[in-house]
Structure formats: structure tokens, C-alpha cells
Amino acid sequence: MTTEPPRDARTQPPGGPPAGLVARLDALRARPFPKRTEHTAAGTSGPGFHVARLWATGPLWDADPADAAAARESCVEELAALVAVVSLRRGEPVVHELAEALERSAMGLPVPPPLALLAGRVPRLYGWRDGRRWFAVSAGQAGDGQPHQVLAAITDGPLPGGG
């Protein structure tokens, strides 16, 4: 299930993302990393990383196919608007495909956080440097019937792929 912003994501769509979406991303970027892994309803944080849900549809277990398609489209639109706003602030994102991380995880090979948490949920990340840290956003669905989500990841390591 590919979830990506439209090619013209550099221009902010009318209305843009909700201010709360950008504010949640900024707050997550400012948070210190915990010494131990912590799980909350919104995400997971650990030494050197945060992964959090910024936006989500409701559950889709019994959704009409048209409603499920509309939920997916809303998710794509939210991601595109967020990528557009962050790109205006920080420049073009570096796109990271997560297929290799998913393959490694499926083979039982080590995959560092936050990629291990994201590889089964999203196909790619749109990332930017933030000093020593990098942060990224993406969108996806953990499985059939699960909500579509816009996720953010922050880590203190280098960009995936050595960027």
C-alpha cells in the first residue's frame, strides 16, 4: 500500500495541514530522548529516537470500501500538506525507501530504531536534518482494518543510508 504525497507537494495545499499537526511535530523534535524505551498511546521513544503518530483516521474494521478509500486519501493529503510545510521551512526532503529495512527485519537481521518500528508500517520516509538529529514523516497503515496514520520519527543518528 503506497502512501506518498503528490509530486507537487512543494506547494502548500489550500488550508495546509492543521496547525496541531505541525505543532506536534515541532514538540516531538524538541523532546529529549529517554534513557529507556517508553511506549505511549501515541508512539514509542527510546535511547536516541522517538516515533509518534501525528494524525490518524478511525479504525476501519467494518468500514465501507468507499469510506476506507476516503480515509486513505485523507491520510495522503495530510502527509502531502505536512511535507509541503516542512519543505518550505527546511528545504526538499531526502526520501528513504524502507524496503531494505523491512527485508532485514523479516529475515531476523538487526534493524536499528526507529527504522525497525517503521518498516512494517510505512513504505518510505521524507526526512530532513536538524543539527545532529534527523527527523522524518511518513504515512501508512499497519494492516487491514487498522487506521491510516501520519507518523513522525526523530533520531540522533545519521540519516538512513549514510546521508
Between 129 and 145, name the one with better pLDDT: 129
Contact between 95 and 105 (Cβ < 8 Å):
no
pLDDT at res. 4: 47
Q: What is the pLDDT of residues 70-120, one digit of tens each?
A: 888 999 999 999 999 999 999 999 999 999 999 999 999 999 888 988 988
State how far the Cα of 8 lies from the Cα of 135, in Å rounded to an integer. 21
> What is the pTM for the complete model shown?
0.83
Q: How many CB atoms lie within 10 A of CB 163?
A: 10
Q: Which grid coordinates belong to 140? A: 501508512
Largest CA distance in the chain: 45
State how far the Cα of 28 lies from the Cα of 34, in Å rounded to an integer. 12
State how far the Cα of 146 lies from the Cα of 157, in Å rounded to an integer. 30
DSSP-derived 3-state class of residue 45 = strand
pLDDT at res. 162: 45
Q: Residue with C-alpha cell 513522525? A: 152
Q: What region does 48 belong to: left with phi over 0, alpha with psi -120 to 50, or beta?
A: left
Q: What is the pLDDT of residues 29-71, one digit of tens each?
A: 999 999 999 999 889 999 999 999 999 888 787 777 888 888 8
pLDDT at res. 85: 93
DSSP-derived 3-state class of residue 105 = helix
43 DSSP β-pair partners: 52
Between 118 and 5, name the one with better pLDDT: 118
Q: How far does CA 77 lie from the centroid of its chain?
A: 13
pLDDT(8) > 60: no
pLDDT at res. 16: 54
Q: Among 1-5, 23-27, 104-108, 128-132, where is mean pLDDT lowest?
A: 1-5
Cβ-based neighbours of 123, under 8 Å, separated by 6 or more: 1, 2, 3, 4, 97, 98, 99, 138, 140
